[in-house]
């Protein structure tokens, strides 16, 4: 398996297009950094002296929301409860909401680049099987004493590794750019998380890693789908087209549908944003974290059953 | 001699159309075996079934005692193949391409790779991208790729496509050398007869998915007998004994027969005694090509 992964890795990284992808990603982060730096120098942020009072007003308005909206929507109830608990914690422990730009806020902002990384991972996922067919090299690949399942698995793992590499590049490079442009935070900052009715302080860099991984779930699913289409139909443009359309439109379309139909919760894209369960509101009432995880697993399994089932059986005649 | 490859009643049906009908043959160790047939006869399908690219509808293929159907990895380990054009990763160098395939077999050393490169004569250009290679060089790289793991059976589908005469000759010498020094068996497919005649020990003619004939090429070369075309009138009365005693093949204007020169008057006398009009008798040089055309046109006519 190690050798197979190495083969796939070499094939990807000897391509010019892969180098271009990485350069674009790095350029994107630098441009973003420059833009934020420019904004920071032109606008002056003042320290708000009355932040405690403002939070207090926010809390009472949230409490109002809790009694009205929270009554008939369990998810909204959790949301308000969380907001109130977090703000109360801030007042009690004297943690002012911080507007300062520093390395970690920049790493957080760089999550925007994840869609670019997703785009690249999808291109790789869509091409990794179908390009062997279009170049004819599949014939030399499948006549080795290695089962087709192993070959396809090595390709899928390569896609995953490529995605992880892209994420790591964004995280590490934006840390570097953030450190150079904005420096470390002036006071100790940590992420306030709310779980089981309690507020806990978490390391901000660790929390960002979790956030990066959570916001990559939709990309993981779409890349898996692109991989499935690519192995089943052997056509990379078809796979890329459908996948990118879904990557950019799927979420929006699901939100639109969610306001009318309850069954929207079974759609893949209603379940890909797991951060909703930690910091926001799920799009259909009554959805829970475990429901979404089960849905994601079901989709994941279906994609792989199709990909492996078709790839292992089908005749290579072209 | 032991069989390296055996096809047992192999059938392939694609969307209800029979592509290969009950094909059975075997290839012996050290033999160069030709698969000959017009385009679309099922040569490539047969080859793809042997290497496992296409599944079998019925029957089985045994390579070195292992079934391709049931024990794919063990069976295909003994095969090196080029299926149609040797397509390589164009953005990698020749050497990187070979490394790709070397990693997929067990125990191929760096020395072995260098030895194979030397053998096919690519040493000088091996570190250049395959994109810059000529067709002949790609063929040689393709050959190198299937020799890496010292297979017992080499399968080459239309290997001389696009090679110039010098390249074909060189390729032929390579094959001879491989079978003689390493005891490899080779299957070559082609629709070019002259080439097959020079290359192969034995040739199978495939037509419309059926094996129509298997011939030893040596038989033609070693044969003292000549082939005569006898132009005659109607043969209805004599067909029986012509077939039984002389093994004649009937054509439109008469028949052909393979006999020693001294026997010709004997045959003609007997024909004249039987009141058959004999117009001419001429010696023809019978090549495999004629045999091939005979076999194939006969089957076509029967349709």
**HEC assignment per residue over A165-205:** HHHHHHHHHHHHHHHHHHCCCCCCCEEEEEECCEEEEEEHH
Portion 9-28 of B in contact with A at CB < 8 A: 14
Considering the domain boundaries, does residue A240 fall inside one? yes
What is the per-residue pLDDT for B258?
79
More confident residue, B197 or B230: B230
Task: pLDDT band for B291, please (50, 70, 90 cuts).
Answer: low
What is the per-residue pLDDT for A44?
63
Considering the domain boundaries, does residue A232 fall inside one? yes
Percent of chain B with pLDDT over 70: 90
Considering the domain boundaries, does residue A50 fall inside one? no
Residue ranges making up the domain that contains A138? 2-45+99-312
Total of domains in chain A: 1
- Whether B73 has its CB under 8 Å from any CB of chain A: the answer is yes
Portion 262-291 of B in contact with A at CB < 8 A: none
What is the per-residue pLDDT for B96?
93
Closest chain B C-alpha to A152 CA, distance in angstroms: 14
What is the per-residue pLDDT for A47?
62
Closest chain B C-alpha to A97 CA, distance in angstroms: 53
Considering the domain boundaries, does residue A286 fall inside one? yes
Give the ranges where chain B is alpha helix by DSSP (H). Answer: 43-50, 72-76, 94-102, 110-120, 135-147, 165-182, 193-199, 217-222, 239-246, 264-273, 288-301
Considering the domain boundaries, does residue A295 fall inside one? yes
pLDDT digits (tens, 9 = 90+) for B69-128: 888 888 888 999 988 888 899 999 999 999 999 999 988 889 989 988 988 888 888 999
Contacts of B79 in chain A (CB under 8 A): 143
Q: Which among A15, A140, A313 is the nearest to B87, CB-wise?
A: A140
Angstrom distance (rounded) from CA A41 to CA B174: 73
Spell out, as residue ranges, where chain A has pLDDT lower than 50.
none
Mean pLDDT confidence for B167-180: 81
Task: pLDDT band for B298, please (50, 70, 90 cuts).
Answer: low
Mark yes or no for CB contact A145/B85 under 8 Å. no
Distances in whole angstroms, Cα of residue A268 to Cα of each of A251, A261, A288: 9, 15, 14
- Whether B103 has its CB under 8 Å from any CB of chain A: the answer is yes
What is the per-residue pLDDT for A28?
92
What is the per-residue pLDDT for B302?
36
- Whether B130 has its CB under 8 Å from any CB of chain A: the answer is no
Considering the domain boundaries, does residue A89 fall inside one? no
In contact, B43 and B187? CB cutoff 8 Å: no
Tell the CATH topology of B223-301: Alpha-Beta Plaits (3.30.70)
Angstrom distance (rounded) from CA A238 to CA A241: 5
Closest chain B C-alpha to A253 CA, distance in angstroms: 40
Asked whether the ipTM of the predicted complex exceeds the cut of 0.85, the reply is: no
Q: Could you confirm whether domain B3-216 is CATH 3.40.50.720?
A: no
Portion 150-179 of B in contact with A at CB < 8 A: none
Mark yes or no for CB contact A137/B79 under 8 Å. no
Residue with token string 């909206």: A69
Contacts of A7 in chain B (CB under 8 A): 100, 103-104
- Per the DSSP assignment, residues forming a β-bridge with B8 are B60
More confident residue, A27 or B254: A27
What is the per-residue pLDDT for A302?
92
Considering the domain boundaries, does residue A109 fall inside one? yes
What is the per-residue pLDDT for B169?
82
Read off φ and ψ for residue B22, nearest 5 degrees: 45, 60
Give the ranges where chain A is alpha helix by DSSP (H). Answer: 2-13, 16-42, 51-68, 74-93, 103-109, 114-135, 138-141, 148-182, 204-214, 217-233, 236-258, 268-271, 276-279, 289-313
Q: Where are the domains of chain B?
A: 3-216, 223-301
Of A17-26, A226-235, B263-272, B289-298, least confident by mean pLDDT is B289-298
pLDDT digits (tens, 9 = 90+) for B135-166: 888 888 988 898 888 888 999 888 777 677 77
- What lies within 8 Å, CB to CB, of A166 at 6+ separation is A25, A117, A120, A121
Considering the domain boundaries, does residue A140 fall inside one? yes
Contacts of B104 in chain A (CB under 8 A): 3-4, 7, 141, 144-146
């Amino acid at each position: 398996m190690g050798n197979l992964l190495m083969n796939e890795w070499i094939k990807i990284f000897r391509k010019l297009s892969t180098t271009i992808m990485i350069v674009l990603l790095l350029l994107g982060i630098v441009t973003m950094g420059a833009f934020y730096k420019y904004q920071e120098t032109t606008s002056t942020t003042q320290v708000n002296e009355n932040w405690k009072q403002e939070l207090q007003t926010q809390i009472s308005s949230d409490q109002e929301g809790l009694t009205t909206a929270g009554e008939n929507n369990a998810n909204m109830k959790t949301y308000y409860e969380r907001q109130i608990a977090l703000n109360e914690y801030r007042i009690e422990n004297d943690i002012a909401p911080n507007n300062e730009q520093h390395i970690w806020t920049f790493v957080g902002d760089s999550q925007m680049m994840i869609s670019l990384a997703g785009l690249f991972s999808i291109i790789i996922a869509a091409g990794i099987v179908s390009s062997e067919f279009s170049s004819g090299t599949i014939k030399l690949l499948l006549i080795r004493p290695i089962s087709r399942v192993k070959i396809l698995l090595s390709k899928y793992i390569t896609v995953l590794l490529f995605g992880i590499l892209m994420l790591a590049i964004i995280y590490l490079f934006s840390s570097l750019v953030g450190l150079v442009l904005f420096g470390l935070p002036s006071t100790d900052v940590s992420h306030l998380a709310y779980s089981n009715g309690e507020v806990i302080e978490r390391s901000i860099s660790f929390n960002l890693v979790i956030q990066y991984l959570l916001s990559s779930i939709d990309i993981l699913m779409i890349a898996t789908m692109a991989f499935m289409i690519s192995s089943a139909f052997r056509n990379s443009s078809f796979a890329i087209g459908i996948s990118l359309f879904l990557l950019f439109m799927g979420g929006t379309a699901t939100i639109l549908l969610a306001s009318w139909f309850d069954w929207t919760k079974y759609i893949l894209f209603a379940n890909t944003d797991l951060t909703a369960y930690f910091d926001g509101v799920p799009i259909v009432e009554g959805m829970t974290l475990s429901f979404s995880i089960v849905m994601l697993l079901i989709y994941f399994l279906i994609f792989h059953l199709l990909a492996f089932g078709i790839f292992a059986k089908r005749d290579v005649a072209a | 001699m032991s069989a390296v490859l055996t096809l047992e009643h192999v059938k392939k049906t694609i969307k209800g159309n029979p592509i290969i009908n009950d094909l059975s043959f075997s290839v012996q160790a050290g033999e160069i075996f030709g698969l000959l047939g017009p385009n679309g006869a099922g040569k490539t399908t047969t080859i793809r079934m042997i290497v496992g690219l296409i599944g079998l509808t019925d029957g089985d293929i045994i390579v070195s005692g292992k079934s391709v159907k049931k024990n794919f990895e063990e069976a295909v380990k003994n095969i090196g193949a080029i299926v149609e054009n040797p397509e390589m990763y164009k953005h990698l160098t020749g050497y990187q391409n070979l490394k790709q395939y070397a990693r997929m077999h067990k125990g191929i050393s760096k020395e072995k790779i260098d030895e194979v490169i030397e053998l096919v004569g690519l040493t000088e250009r091996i570190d250049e991208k395959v994109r810059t290679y000529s067709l002949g060089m790609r063929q040689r790289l393709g050959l190198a790729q299937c020799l890496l793991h010292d297979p017992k059976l080499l399968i080459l589908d239309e290997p001389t496509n696009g090679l110039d005469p010098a390249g074909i000759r060189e390729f032929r010498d390579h094959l001879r050398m491989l079978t003689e020094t390493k005891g490899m068996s080779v299957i070559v497919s082609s629709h070019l007869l002259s080439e097959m005649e020079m290359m192969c020990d034995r040739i199978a003619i495939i037509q419309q998915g059926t094996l129509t004939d298997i011939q030893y090429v040596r038989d033609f070369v070693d044969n003292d007998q000549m082939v005569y075309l006898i132009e005659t009138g109607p043969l209805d009365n004599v067909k029986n004994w012509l077939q039984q005693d002389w093994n004649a093949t009937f054509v439109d204007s008469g028949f052909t027969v393979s006999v020693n020169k001294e026997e010709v008057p004997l045959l003609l006398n007997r024909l004249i005694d039987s009141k058959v009009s004999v117009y001419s008798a001429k010696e023809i040089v019978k090549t495999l090509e004629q045999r091939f055309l005979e076999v194939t046109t006969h089957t076509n006519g029967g349709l």
